[in-house]
Amino acid sequence: MSEKKPGWKEIPIAGVPFKSSLEYKTGDWRVLKPVIDDDKCIKCLLCNIYCPEMSMLVKWDETGNKPLGVYVDYDYCKGCGICADICPVKAIEMVKEER
When the beta carbons of 89 and 95 are compared against ligand SF4, the nearer one is: 89
Beta bridge partners of 95: 33
Task: Please report, for residues 38, 43, 61, 77, the alpha-carbon distance to residue 71 in angstroms, rounded to integers and kept in the order given.
Answer: 9, 11, 14, 11
57 touching ligand SF4, by CB under 6 A: no
44 touching ligand SF4, by CB under 6 A: yes
Distance in Å, CB of 59 to ligand SF4, minimum: 10
For residue 80, the one-letter residue type is C
95 touching ligand SF4, by CB under 6 A: no
Q: CA nearest 84: which of 52, 47, 42, 45?
A: 47
* One of 9, 17, 22, 42 touching ligand SF4 (CB under 6 A): 42
When the beta carbons of 12 and 97 are compared against ligand SF4, the nearer one is: 97
CA distance 82 to 94: 10
CA distance 59 to 67: 6
Which residues of the chain form contacts with ligand SF4 (CB under 6 A)?
34, 36, 41-47, 51, 53, 55-56, 70, 72, 77-83, 86-87, 89, 91-92
